[in-house]
Structure 1
Amino acid sequence: MSKRVLSGVLAASLVLASTLAHAECYTEAEWQAAHVRILQTELNVAQLTCQNVPDHSYDAQYSAFVARFGDRLKSAASVLRAHFKRVYGNAASEKQLDIFVTRVANEASDRSMSSTTPCADAAPLFQQVLATDTGGLSQLALDHVTDKTEIGGELCVAKKAPASRKSGRTKKTVAVK
């Protein structure tokens, strides 16, 4: 292959890699939705893990969480589903969403099992969540989820729009003294 062809292939692959990396990022709304899903899953794992533990059954608290934040949870689920459709297309989006949800659940379960007191550990989180107003759920989730690798992506970096020009002439800036 000639150097020109190799240079063209290299340039095309860099553009493609850049495009793919940007496509796999999360918008602000998607980022928040992913955090909400992780928080919801953590609470659900605690509820299931502790349902037969005296003085640490979280069935009522988890039900109260779902009742209180049901609309927010549904909205976050829709936004997250839209993210996976945007990134993976219609054909693969459900499978990729299932992979994400399963990974999140497995990681929440692993954290729970690595603790010697998982049920006692869950109490402050349930108290904090149930003391939060419905509008504060996303921020609580953003603050609570400290391991961002669990999301499997990153927040999109907004590209600056090019400066618009109304005419072909450039403006000169003159300093006034």
Structure 2
Amino acid sequence: MLAGLVRPEAGSVQLPASRVLTQDAHLFRTTIRANLALARPDATEAELLAAVRLSGAREWVASLPAGLDTVVGEGGRPISGGQRQRLLLARAVLADPDVLLLDEPTEGLEMAAADEVLAGLLRARAGRTTVVVTHRLAGLSEMDEVVVLDCGRAVQRGPHNQLLAGPGPYQDLWSAELLVS
């Protein structure tokens, strides 16, 4: 409902101004600058670069011959999935909404980079609402509240430490993630 993709079956939902970063968000065949400016056309060069830095793409963008003025192809070709995800994250961050909904924001990034980017994003968003939808549990200790869903229903909720303290799906998922990392 927060993303505006599902309507309530009863009652009403008042949606705040929000930005959504989905796994399939689009990059257009234009410059990196123009793709980022979709979020905020009046953004300054410093604000664009700050968003790029926060997304972890600063070194990559700086290494490009035309920097922010490098053209990416339709859907982000020929850049990697991780670079594409970082640009989409930078665009969402640049919008700086009161409520930011991120769907798998670090998908396609290496684990260490993903943890660093998410932690930096949460620090930068302090005092505002950020909803992170993810299958990866690393970084959730920084969240005020974690809601565990199973088949679309909330089956557990609370702070990370509280959910780890007792048996339940979150503790099971945490243990399983530790085994594969």
TM class, shorter-chain normalised? under 0.3
Larger % of helix: which?
1
Q: Which has the larger radius of gyration?
A: 1
- How does the TM-score come out when normalised to structure 1? 0.20
Task: Report which structure shows greater RCO (CA 8 Å, sep ≥6).
Answer: 1
